[in-house]
Amino acid sequence: MNYREQLKNKKKIVIKIGSSSLIHEETGGVDFRKLEQLVRIICDLKNQDKDVVLVSSGAIGVGIQALGLKNKPKTVSLKQACAAIGQGQLMMMYQKLFMEYNHMAAQVLITFDCITNDERRRNAVNTMNELLQQGVIPVVNENDTVATEEIEFGDNDTLSAIVAHLINADLLILLTDIDGFYTDDPHKNPDAEKLSVVEQITDEFKAMAKGSNTMYGTGGMSTKIAAARIATDSGADMAIIDAGSLSLINSLIDGEDVGTLFLSHDSEDFDTVDFIVGKKYLM
């Protein structure tokens, strides 16, 4: 079976992009060229009658630049202050760019208690589904001004997988600084091999993700394997592709062999609250 050919038929897609993919590392300024390209690709997917949810980091980075800070904030309170400033500015950029392509974006800020609290979870699901039904593109981030979970986790990989689960997405795309999942850290091991398709996440794969003390191991692939476990257990395929070339989103959905594709499977005993709160995805 050609699993990648089936990606053309995906109708509800969650795309996650991290801060490092939106911010110029040298200056801390926003990479408007990449931001505009991402928006254009999402609008084209919308024009193909696909529902798209964007999970976007970057608020703290935008806030750091707005405040003129020379170093990344170390205290939670300063990080939250940067997020409060940057979130509004980042959303304004998204809304302006989406409107240029005749599409509307809406900000959705959630915290992990949206998962643990039944009523808040229903409200979050109903809001995102209603936005999608109205043809609006939800732009999701964790509410960093009142919560510290995402700041402590370091990225939105897990959050994007939770969103995919909540809205019953059939594809999650993680845009990252590496072009797929490797058998070892490719920065240190030239013999590391990139995997095209992962049919099942075994203990061996989890060990690969955690086997390095570099950012690739502990801060990078481990959270992506966690996201893959949540997404695939929820019935969504998940792909890891290189954020350095956003056109790969189109290549992926066209069925081309890019990045690494993790195949979905329904899990009858999958429980979101138990899975997330118990942090079983990290084991």
Write out pLDDT tens, residues 232-242.
Answer: 998 999 999 99
Per-residue confidence band for 94, with pLDDT thresholds at 50, 70 and 90: very high
pLDDT of residue 197: 94
Using CA atoms, how far apart are residues 10 and 53, in angstroms rounded to an integer? 13
Per-residue confidence band for 204, with pLDDT thresholds at 50, 70 and 90: confident
Q: What is the CATH number of the domain that holds 34?
A: 3.40.1160.10
What does the mean pLDDT of the chain come to?
Answer: 85
Domain annotation covers residue 217: yes
Pull the structure tokens for residue 171: 């594809």
Averaged pLDDT for residues 85-97: 94
Q: Is the pLDDT score of 253 beyond 90?
A: yes
262, β-bridge pairs: 198, 238
CB 151 within 8 A of CB 76: yes
Pull the structure tokens for residue 270: 């999958």
Domain annotation covers residue 55: yes
Domain annotation covers residue 4: no
Least trusted range by pLDDT, from 188-202, 246-260, 263-277: 263-277
Q: Is the pLDDT score of 268 beyond 70?
A: no
Domain annotation covers residue 56: yes
Domain annotation covers residue 1: no
Per-residue confidence band for 136, with pLDDT thresholds at 50, 70 and 90: very high
pLDDT of residue 196: 94
Averaged pLDDT for residues 110-125: 83
Half-sphere exposure of 198 (CA within 13 A, CB side): 28
Q: Which of 9-18, 62-71, 197-206, 264-273 has the highest mean pLDDT?
A: 9-18
Q: C-alpha angle 67/108/127, rounded to 5°?
A: 165
Q: Is the pLDDT score of 214 beyond 50?
A: no
Domain annotation covers residue 2: no
Pull the structure tokens for residue 55: 């999970």
Q: 54 lies in which domain range? A: 9-282
pLDDT of residue 152: 45
Using CA atoms, how far apart are residues 202 and 243, in angstroms rounded to an integer? 26
Pull the structure tokens for residue 113: 């208690």
**The total number of structural domains that make up the chain:** 1
pLDDT of residue 226: 85
Domain annotation covers residue 111: yes
CB 91 within 8 A of CB 176: no
Per-residue confidence band for 98, with pLDDT thresholds at 50, 70 and 90: very high
pLDDT top residue among 270 and 13: 13
Per-residue confidence band for 170, with pLDDT thresholds at 50, 70 and 90: very high
Residue with tokens 């070892």: 184
Q: What are the two backbone dihedrals, phi and then psi, of residue 12, each rounded to the nearest 5 degrees?
A: -130, 110
Contacts of 19 (CB under 8 A, 6+ apart): 57, 58, 60, 61, 155
Using CA atoms, how far apart are residues 175 and 23, in angstroms rounded to an integer? 14
Using CA atoms, how far apart are residues 4 and 239, in angstroms rounded to an integer? 10
